[in-house]
């Protein structure tokens, strides 16, 4: 089974996640924003979640990640039971 690698920034609310996306669009570093803004412990690692295959993440997160090409970031936040994610596929 093929694995992919991704990073994310987890926010509590959709407006907060939209604000982070605006910051990314204005050229701010994904890794730095993850360290500063993510609610997930992975934020300390710049949002890096490591590698995973299908079935290892919640459905909404997995679908969004597999729909990205390597290096792409979601243009809209992805809602899961954990909050609002901005996802970057890194490999």
User: Which pLDDT band holds residue 45 (cuts at 50, 70, 90)?
Assistant: very high
pLDDT of residue 27: 97
On whether the CB atoms of residues 37 and 9 are closer than 8 A, the answer is yes
Distance CA 52, CA 57 (A): 8
Total domains in the chain come to: 1
Distance CA 27, CA 11 (A): 19
Residues in Cβ contact with 22 at an 8 Å cutoff, skipping those fewer than 6 apart: none
Assess whether pLDDT exceeds 80 at residue 52: yes
Q: What average pLDDT score do residues 2-27 get?
A: 97
CATH number for 14: 3.10.50.40
Mean of pLDDT over the chain: 96
Distance CA 78, CA 71 (A): 17
Q: What is the domain extent for residue 68?
A: 4-89
β-strands 83-89, 4-11 pairing: antiparallel
User: Which pLDDT band holds residue 1 (cuts at 50, 70, 90)?
Assistant: low
pLDDT of residue 2: 85
């Amino acid at each position: 089974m093929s694995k992919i690698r991704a990073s994310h920034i987890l926010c509590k609310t959709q407006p907060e996640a939209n604000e982070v996306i605006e910051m990314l669009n204005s050229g701010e570093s994904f890794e730095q924003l993850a360290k500063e803004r993510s609610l997930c412990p992975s934020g300390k690692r710049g949002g890096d979640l490591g590698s995973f295959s299908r079935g290892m993440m919640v459905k909404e997160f997995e679908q969004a990640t597999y729909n990205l090409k390597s290096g792409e970031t979601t243009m809209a936040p992805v809602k899961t039971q954990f909050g609002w994610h901005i996802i970057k596929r890194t490999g």
